[in-house]
A and B are shown apart, each in its own frame.
Chain A
Amino acid sequence: MIGRRSWLVFSALVFGFAFLYVPIVSMVIYSFNASRLVTVWDSVNSPTVAWYVELFSNHEVLDAARLSFQIASVNATGAVILGTLAAFALERYTRFRGRALFQLLTTAPMVLPEVITGLSLLLLFVALEQWVGWPSGRGATTITIAHMTFSMAYVIVVVQSRLATVDRSLEEAAMDLGARPRKVFFVITLPLIAPAIASGWILAFILSWDDIVITSFVSGPGSTTLPQLIFSKVRLGVSPDINALATILVLIVTIGVSVLGYYMIRRDRRLLREAQAVMEATP
Chain B
Amino acid sequence: MTIPTAPGATTPAGAPYVRIDHLTKRFGDFIAVRQVSLEISRGEIFCLLGGSGCGKTTLLRMLAGFETPTEGAIYIDGTDVTLVPPYERPVNMMFQSYALFPHMTVEQNVAFGLQQDRTPRVEMKDRVAEMLSLVQLSGYEKRKPHQLSGGQRQRVALARALVKRPKLLLLDEPLGALDKKLRERTQFELVNLQEQLGVTFVIVTHDQEEAMTLASRIGVMRAGEILQVGTPTDIYEFPNSRFVADFIGSVNMTEGKLVEDEPDHVLIDCPQFGAAVYVDHGVSAPPDAQVSVAIRPEKIQLSREQPEQGHNVLSGVIVGIAYLGDVTRYLVRLPTGFVLRVTAPNVYRHEERLEQDETVFLRWHESAAVVVTR
Contacts and interface: CB of A to CB of B under 8 A. Distances in A.
- When A and B assemble into the complex, do they touch directly, with CB atoms less than 8 Å apart? yes
Interface of A: 167, 169-170, 172-180, 183, 188, 191-192, 271, 274-275, 277-279, 281-282
* 9 nearest A-B pairs in the assembled complex, by CB-CB distance: A178-B116, A177-B113, A173-B99, A169-B99, A282-B149, A175-B86, A169-B95, A175-B87, A191-B103
B164 A178 contact: yes
Nearest to A277: B147
Contacts of B270: none
A173 B147 contact: no
B94 to A, nearest CB: 9
| Max chain B Cβ within 10 angstroms of own Cβ: one of A177, A275, A278, A279 | A177
B9 to A, nearest CB: 33
Nearest to B148: A278
B92 interface: yes
Given A172-B86, A271-B146, A281-B149, A179 B116 contact: yes
A173 B93 CA distance: 7
B85 interface: yes
B147 A176 contact: no
Contacts, number: 72
Given A177-B92, A274-B146, A278-B147, A169 B97 contact: yes
Contacts of A178: 87-88, 113, 116-117, 164
Nearest to B96: A169
Interface size class of B (residues with CB under 8 A): 20 to 34
A78 B97 CA distance: 36
Contacts of A271: 146
Contacts of A174: 101, 112
A176 B86 contact: yes
B101 A183 contact: no
Given A169-B99, A177-B160, 6 more contacts: A169-B95, A172-B99, A175-B86, A176-B65, A176-B66, A176-B161
Contacts of B88: 178
B313 interface: no
Nearest to B116: A178
Contacts of B64: 172, 176
A179 B101 contact: no
B116 A192 contact: no
Interface string B156-185: 000011001000000000000000000000
23 contacts: A167-B97, A169-B97, A170-B99, A170-B102, A172-B64, A172-B66, A172-B95, A172-B99, A173-B95, A175-B87, A176-B66, A176-B91, A177-B112, A177-B161, A178-B88, A178-B116, A178-B117, A179-B112, A188-B101, A192-B102, A274-B146, A278-B149, A281-B149
Interface in B107-127: 112-113, 116-117
A1 B147 CA distance: 33
B99 A167 contact: yes
Contacts of A183: 116
A238 B330 CA distance: 90
B104 to A, nearest CB: 9
Interface in B14-67: 64-66
A180 B64 CA distance: 14
B169 to A, nearest CB: 11
Contacts of A177: 87, 92, 112-113, 116, 160-161, 164
A19 B64 CA distance: 57
Nearest to A181: B87
B101 A176 contact: no
B50 to A, nearest CB: 21
Contacts of B102: 170, 192
